[in-house]
Amino acid sequence: MRPPLDVSKVRAILIVVWTTIFLESISIGEGARGTVLLHRIANTAASKSMTRRRNVAYYGNISIGTPPQHFTACFDTGSADLWMPSDSCQSASCAAHQQYVQRNSTTFEGTDGVFFIEYGTGAVEGTTVYDSLQLAEPLINIERQGFGLADQASITFAVASCDGLFGLAFPALSKQGVAPPFFNMLQERLLDAPEFSIWLNKDTREGVFPAGELLLGGINPARYSGELQYHQVIGTRYWQLELSGIKVAGKGVSSLKSKGVILDSGASLIFASTQDADTINKAIPGMVFWEEAGLYNVTGGCAAVPSLPPLTFTIDSVDYTLSPQQYILQLPEDDPAYCISAVMGGGTQQYLVLGNSFMRSYYAVFSVGAAFNGSRVGLAPST
């Protein structure tokens, strides 16, 4: 008798096969490269100053439809989907942002597809649709881009810095069943090279512009020093790399469970499993657990930060070091009594998430290979 069909295994195989075919079909055309300058400011709709400061994200401007409707998008290497709030969404999360009006676009195409995406800070659901997409300078125009039209969003997004998300991870991670915008650009041969790069400004004061830069189709040598060190991507969904170890003041931290790291521009901090976060923070002299907040605080307050040791992440045997000023946050920014570690729990045991606390220190190039196992990430110190 034939054994029962394992649907989950079949789906996993199909994802790998589809991704392989998709990436092998990419050819470089006589395209271009385009720059999106990023802002970094918290949405003032947040009622508490602590919430505003924690909710800061990097975002840029995009346009959807004909004539163009203008939005702000948070560019997220940790997810793969583009979505914007629909004018049919009545929740507070949607009302706080610019909403897409489908009847106002002559190039809108509806579908029967639905989507649900759960993030670490909330969830959205709605329908999958198509329309034109424009972004960057010089302008990159995608004539037909699939994206999500959110008709429900959790209250968390009401205080988000941007109207919606612009995923930059691999197609296999998509919940919408359409090519993410960057990969659509590759299919349409709109870019010079199958890569994008991200620079985040080390100056995090509110109002500093540009707060960052997303370059589609190339690399900006002015944004980094030294040579780029390239690392092969593990898997087919995330920009995940192999973690060789972590060091504090040059000494290895033992008993870590995580074996990989994910570069995630949509995460503000560095996330690990609760166990690994405890292990890392306890290895840093001068850090003490603040039970009321569930965070690690610097003993002696912010004045003691310069005396803390460097924190090093070793990726494929290459060391990437953060100074204490880079892995410690002052929250709130006007209270020198509270400086906390950017390494926080709540993640998975399989990998660490290296968010903006790491990416502000290192310029990152995300390069798509000719097959799903040929992609790489290049890292070099940011200027």
- The residues that are catalytic are 76, 264
Distance CA 168, CA 62 (A): 14
Distance CA 324, CA 336 (A): 15
φ, ψ at 92 (rounded to 5°): -60, -30
Q: How many whole angstroms from its chain centre is CA 343? A: 16
Report yes or no: 283 and 271 within 8 Å, Cβ to Cβ: no
Q: How many CB atoms lie within 10 A of CB 7?
A: 8
